[in-house]
């Protein structure tokens, strides 16, 4: 791809300079989109036709195909959206139907959209119907497929020739496409909440007499993922404006189509849950995908966050506490007592160590205090911890050092005690702030749906699939912890976006602000 020659802005009149700069930015953005599009097409060809694709099972090939198709559809939608904004209609492909006629056996629900007025503007009286336009889109009511038939009658005056009156066609997320926003929401929830890969959904639909290839479903998901990205980005911004968050990461096996094998990617969960102390901010979670577990990924995802971060003992987070941290000031961390307890439990379960048992008993005393103060205000929690828990923790610290002096650091128990010692400062953070939990179990509970999807869907078909996985899962899981039904939320949100919901009011589309009608 050739590089465009540099433009000397000083030679351009000041009145035109802003327009030229805007055009240059658009060209650069479209160039990057095209580059990514070409890369994805090459990856798709490699996955389908490359020599090493023969190593993939049929399930693996299907997953690679659908995730790459989702990513490609998202890129194409972004390109079309930019073209529409700049008025470059020549680069916007004409809307196309992805399959033939919908089966006649499906029930039809007719919606007639009448003009606001049937009175002729020339004063001749009431216009009469001269025809109508009919369009069909595939809709779904959970457990029931149906077809929405939109009828827009046409009216004209018998006396004059002032033209035809007809109601405007309703807006759709996928212009001239078959699915309603409800159908799109159903496919998303089925894939990312019910753990049904697209090719399995295609098989289910086929039993109802509907021939929808997985490539069609992938196109729908890619377009929906593109339109939902601003909502997820705003959700992440909202969470990072909090004073305290949880973070954890879990493996997300991903196909490497070029090599015909799987590799290990990671989904990082950034969560807020202030319900234990009555915080006013609603709970939420965002999942970020990264191809590795390096701490720099956490640093990137946390750009703009400067509060307390509750984490496990993974050393990759250490860079966040240093003055050299990128994206904000050094973060104060709170480590997890559940992980400390787990280390001792592993030793006790293996050999019944009395030292491990004593450590578990001491930690249990701290948890007993937490059970007593669950649900009270941060101030009350802090007072109780300082009065009751701080002496227990101090005594545990003295006991810990005494045991470390007696036990080899290379022994199994010695390694566990060293782990607790190395995180001792972070393990005491909850004693100084009533908003901090004693452990990070809240975020671990939010990781479990990802692990379940990993078990049922095998793995993501591509790195791009991991990104879409995290994006849609962010909205679904945030819905669930706020008591919002994910299908109803996604249906309402996709409908709002299709009807031109303004970017300046994205907060209205966040799950906890949503009031879907069903």
Span 464-503, pLDDT tens digits: 777 888 899 999 999 999 999 999 999 999 999 999 999 9
Residue 411: per-residue pLDDT: 94
312: CB partners within 8 A, 6+ apart? 248, 335, 336, 339, 440
d(CA 364, CA 341): 9
Give the C-alpha distances (Å, rounded to integers) separating 346 from 337, 339, 375: 14, 11, 30
d(CA 187, CA 468): 13
d(CA 268, CA 271): 10
- What are the tens digits of pLDDT across the range 189-231? 998 888 888 888 999 999 888 999 988 998 999 899 999 999 9
448: CB partners within 8 A, 6+ apart? none
pLDDT band for position 261 (cuts 50, 70, 90):
low
Rounded mean pLDDT of 278-283? 91
10 Å Cβ neighbour count for 156?
18
87: CB partners within 8 A, 6+ apart? none
| 228 in Cβ contact with 286 (< 8 Å) | no
Radius of gyration of the chain (CA): 28
The owner of tokens 């580059």 is: 35
Is pLDDT at 60 greater than 80 in this prediction? no
Q: How far is CA 431 from the centre of its chain?
A: 33
User: 3-state DSSP call for residue 149?
Assistant: strand
Is pLDDT at 438 greater than 70 in this prediction? yes
Residue 173: per-residue pLDDT: 92
The owner of tokens 């390096």 is: 294
């Amino acid at each position: 791809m050739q590089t465009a020659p540099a433009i000397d802005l000083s030679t351009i009149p000041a009145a035109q300079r802003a327009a030229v700069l805007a055009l240059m930015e658009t060209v650069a953005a479209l160039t990057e989109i095209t580059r990514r599009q070409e890369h994805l097409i090459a990856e798709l060809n490699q996955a389908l036709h490359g020599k090493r694709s023969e190593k993939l099972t049929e399930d693996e090939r299907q997953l690679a195909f659908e995730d790459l198709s989702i990513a490609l559809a998202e890129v194409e939608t972004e390109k079309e959206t930019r073209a529409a904004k700049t008025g470059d209609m020549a680069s916007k492909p004409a809307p196309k139907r992805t399959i033939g006629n919908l089966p006649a056996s499906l029930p039809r629900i007719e919606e007639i959209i009448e003009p606001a007025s049937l009175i002729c503007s020339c004063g001749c009286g009431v216009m009469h119907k001269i025809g109508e336009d009919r369009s069909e889109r595939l809709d779904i009511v959970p457990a029931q497929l149906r077809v929405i038939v939109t009828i827009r009658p046409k009216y004209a005056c018998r006396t004059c020739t002032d033209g035809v009156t007809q109601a405007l066609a309703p807006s759709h997320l996928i212009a001239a496409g078959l699915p309603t926003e409800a159908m799109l929401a159903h496919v998303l929830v089925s894939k990312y909440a019910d753990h049904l890969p697209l090719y399995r959904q295609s098989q289910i639909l086929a039993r109802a007499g509907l021939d929808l290839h997985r490539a069609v479903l992938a196109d729908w998901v890619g377009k929906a993922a593109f339109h939902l990205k601003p909502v997820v980005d705003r959700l992440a911004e909202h969470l990072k404006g909090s004073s305290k968050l949880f973070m954890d990461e879990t493996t997300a096996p991903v196909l490497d189509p070029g090599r015909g094998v799987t590799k290990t990617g990671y989904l990082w969960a950034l969560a807020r849950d202030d319900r234990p102390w009555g915080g006013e901010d609603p709970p939420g979670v965002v999942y970020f995908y990264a191809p590795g577990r390096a701490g720099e990924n956490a640093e990137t995802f946390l750009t703009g966050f400067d509060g307390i971060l509750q984490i496990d003992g993974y050393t990759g987070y250490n860079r966040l506490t240093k003055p050299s941290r990128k994206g904000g000031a050094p973060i104060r961390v709170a480590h997890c007592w559940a992980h400390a307890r787990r280390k001792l439990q592993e030793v006790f379960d293996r050999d019944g160590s009395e030292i491990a048992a004593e450590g578990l008993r001491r930690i249990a005393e701290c948890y007993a205090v937490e059970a007593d103060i669950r649900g009270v205000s941060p101030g009350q929690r802090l007072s109780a911890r300082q009065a009751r828990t701080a002496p227990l923790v101090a005594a545990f610290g003295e006991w810990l050092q005494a045991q470390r002096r007696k036990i080899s650091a290379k022994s199994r128990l010695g390694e566990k005690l060293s782990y607790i010692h190395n995180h001792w400062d972070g393990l005491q953070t909850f004693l100084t702030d009533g908003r901090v939990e004693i452990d990070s179990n809240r975020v671990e509970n939010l990781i479990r749906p990802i692990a379940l999807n990993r078990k049922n869907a095998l793995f993501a078909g591509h790195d791009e699939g991991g990104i879409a996985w995290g994006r849609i899962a962010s909205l679904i899981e945030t819905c669930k912890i706020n008591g919002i039904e994910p299908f109803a939320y996604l249906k309402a949100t996709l409908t709002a976006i299709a009807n031109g919901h303004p970017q300046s009011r994205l907060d209205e589309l966040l799950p906890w602000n949503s009031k879907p009608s069903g």
